Amino acid sequence: MAKSKLILYISLISFLSLVKSTPNIGFTTDLIHRDSPQSPSYNPSLTPFQRIINALKRSSKHSRRFNAPQSNLLYSGGDYLMKFSIGSPPAPSLGIADTGSDIIWTQCQPCVTCFNQSLPIFIPKTSHTYRKISCNTTRCHLLPDSYCSTSREKNCLYSVEYGDQSYTYGELATDTFTLSSSYGNNTVSFRNILFGCGFKNGGVFSGSESGIVGLGGGKASLVRQLGQGKFSYCLNSLSGSSKLRFGSIAKISGRRVVSTPLVRKSPETYYYLTLEGIRVGNEQFLSDSRQEGNMIIDSGTTLTFLPPGLYAKVEKAIRRSVKLKRTKDRAGVLSLCYFTRKDIVKFPEVVVRFKGGDVKLNYENVFVRTSDVAVCLAAKPAEEGPVIYGNIAQMNFLVGYDLKKRTVSFKPTDCGKL
């Protein structure tokens, strides 16, 4: 799973009265930044710059967690929250939505060990649609860390230990997941969603969440279980509302669309692209590695992490072009910062060259303001983790994933107007 990202909160809304009769139409969700006033963990005492610095620090830690030895899944760090309900009758839940994870899990009673959460903990016995999974079924083995109970029932159990020592243990089950509609008080329900009912959970959790909702590429993720085949998102800003879409309405088309292949690699949880290089002004720089699938695209990681050699060349080229006084990043995260109270007016064109197409970045994709007098390059060298295309680079792009055609597409978009 992906860890410590630019945190956004997801409030599920949908066209999904349509989904019951025509499931291929799909649905739309709202993405709300963690630090926005709409977020349950909004802290009004923090300045906008403190919120940005916190996100950058989380992002810097996050890049190292893709390589954690405990599991091929890594805890996302609470980047998005998704509102949904489990069971019949529906019990409200709030899960971290993570594009770098497959498993869906929530805390369940009776708890052996549970972290504090704001919502009541789910009680399986109160749902008449809750069904345990037998360990001799195919669904039990969709997760790599599943095993059989020692009881006569031979139920399917799971265990996940993340790189930051967070963990969840429990039983795999199915139940009805209910999502809120954007129209009136309508809701839509999905039956037999596989998820983990966690009786022993702990680690770095804030308490706003009840568990995790995996949106990765594996078969157990919500994306794959809904069977929509496509999803897209459009990230507005660090504090604005954004959109997440599933199904045919997530298709990206029209002028200025750039598509690049999704590369199949292990683990299948992550979404791998091929970075060929970066152009800064008239200077072309090739990636350190031309291997297929050398970059992970992650909507929850704030910064972009580049191959060290490529990063050094990009930073040097920007330094040659931007003639402003240098300053240090107060947070100690970013290495190239400029002393300025205004946005940088004269800066070189930056183009990310993926296999199959080039993505021209805007100013807000390249630089991030970390104080009232500092603007920094929103990238770091990937010294201790994988190469990652982060969400600052994706802001105000409609980013679409087609899991059948195996492509990711980018289209410049004013996300605030969607």
The residues facing 98 across adjacent strands are 214
Q: How far apart are CA 284 and CA 277, in angstroms?
A: 7
Q: Which of 402, 393, 338 is nearest to 5 (CA)?
A: 393
Three-state secondary structure call for residue 275: strand
Decide if 215 contacts 224 (C-beta within 8 A).
Answer: no
Decide if 29 contacts 244 (C-beta within 8 A).
Answer: yes
Output the pLDDT for position 57: 53
Q: Which of 98, 164, 288, 402 is catalytic?
A: 98
Output the pLDDT for position 280: 97
98 is catalytic: yes
**Per-residue tens of pLDDT for the chain, all 418 residues:** 444 343 333 333 333 333 343 344 666 655 555 555 555 665 666 655 555 655 555 554 444 444 432 222 233 343 567 788 999 999 998 887 778 788 999 999 999 999 999 889 999 999 999 999 999 899 999 988 899 998 888 899 999 987 667 899 999 999 999 876 544 456 778 999 999 999 999 987 877 789 988 889 999 999 899 887 889 988 876 555 677 788 888 889 999 999 999 999 998 999 999 999 999 999 999 999 989 999 999 887 788 999 999 999 999 999 999 999 999 988 788 999 999 999 888 899 999 999 999 999 999 999 998 888 899 999 999 987 889 998 889 999 999 999 999 999 999 999 888 7
Which DSSP letter does residue 140 get? G
Q: Positive or negative, the Cα torsion across 410, 415, 417, 418?
A: positive
Phi and psi angles of residue 329, each rounded to the nearest 5 degrees, phi first: -75, 120
Burial of 266 (0-12, 13-18, 19+ CB in 10 A): exposed
Output the pLDDT for position 355: 97
The residues facing 214 across adjacent strands are 98
Contacts of 338 (CB under 8 A, 6+ apart): 322, 324, 325, 326, 327, 344, 374, 375, 376
**Any idea what the Cα angle at residue 269 is, between residues 265 and 275, rounded to 5°?**
50
Q: How far apart are CA 296 and CA 238, in angstroms?
A: 21
Q: Which of 79, 102, 175, 298 is catalytic?
A: 298
Q: Positive or negative, the Cα torsion across 79, 2, 71, 151?
A: positive
298 is catalytic: yes
Q: Which of 112, 189, 204, 121 is nearest to 157 (CA)?
A: 112
